Structure 1
Amino acid sequence: MSQTPNDPAGTTHQFQNFANRAPAEKSGPNMPLVVGLAVVAVVVVVGVIALMMV
C-alpha cells in the first residue's frame, strides 16, 4: 500500500481558493475613521470662521 506524501501547506487547489477569496475584514470603509475625519474637518472649519470674525 503506497502512501501519498502529506503536504502541510495543502494542495494547489486549496491555495488557489484561499488566494481568490476576498478579504472579509476589509470589505468596506472604516466608519470610525471616516466619522473622526469629518469631526476634525468641522472643527477646523469652525475655527477658521471664528478667527476670520475676530
Structure 2
Amino acid sequence: MARGFVSCLRHRPEAAQAKGVKFGRKPKLAPHQRKEALKRRAAGETLASRLAE
C-alpha cells in the first residue's frame, strides 16, 4: 500500500508537465514591464533618482 502511494506521488509532477502545467511562482512583472524596467536600469535610472525629482 505505501509503495503504491509513494510511487503515485513521484509520477504526478511528470504527468502534470506532460499536460503542460507550469511550475513555480508567477513573475511579478509582465513581459512588457520587465523590458521597461531593464531599459531604465541600463539608462542608470534608480528609484532614488525618480523620488528626487
State the TM-score bracket (shorter-chain normalisation): under 0.3
TM-score for both structures, normalised by structure 1 = 0.27
TM-score for both structures, normalised by structure 2 = 0.27
Structure of higher RCO (CA pairs closer than 8 Å, 6+ residues apart): 2
Radius of gyration: which is bigger?
A: 1
